[in-house]
Amino acid sequence: MVVAHTTSGGDLRRYDSQTLATGVYGVWVRVNTVHDANGNKVSAYINGSHKGTWDDRGNATHYNKYGVYNISGSKSQTQWKSVKFWRK
């Protein structure tokens, strides 16, 4: 899960811990994820740069979604373009 936070001009974090990118508010950011469900690994790329590969959360139903969730302010916004999903 990639989560946006208000620090550092907007940063993207893996869950609420590891920072993947900073200064993301007001700019387009390319986010790519690769989930190897058979190998139980997830990789994240921000603007083409590999940020890490981690264990997934184990045997479960996995899915991708995007949007604004759990907002605490009245002015949260996200924009998405050219979204693509591939399945092997």
* Per-residue model confidence as pLDDT tens digits over 71-88: 666 677 788 898 888 887
> Is 18 contained in some domain?
yes
> Is 21 contained in some domain?
yes
Q: Which residues contact 41 (CB under 8 A, 6 or more apart)?
A: 35, 53, 54, 55, 56
- The overall average pLDDT reported for the chain is 87
**Structural domain boundaries enclosing 24:** 2-55
Residues 71, 72, 75, 79: what is their CA dihedral angle, to the nearest 10 degrees? -20
Domain count, the chain: 1
> Is 22 contained in some domain?
yes
> Is 83 contained in some domain?
no
Strands 11-14 vs 2-5: parallel, antiparallel or unpaired? antiparallel
Query: pTM for the complete prediction?
Result: 0.83
* Per-residue model confidence as pLDDT tens digits over 54-66: 998 888 887 788 8
> Is 27 contained in some domain?
yes
Q: Is the pLDDT of residue 40 over 70?
A: yes
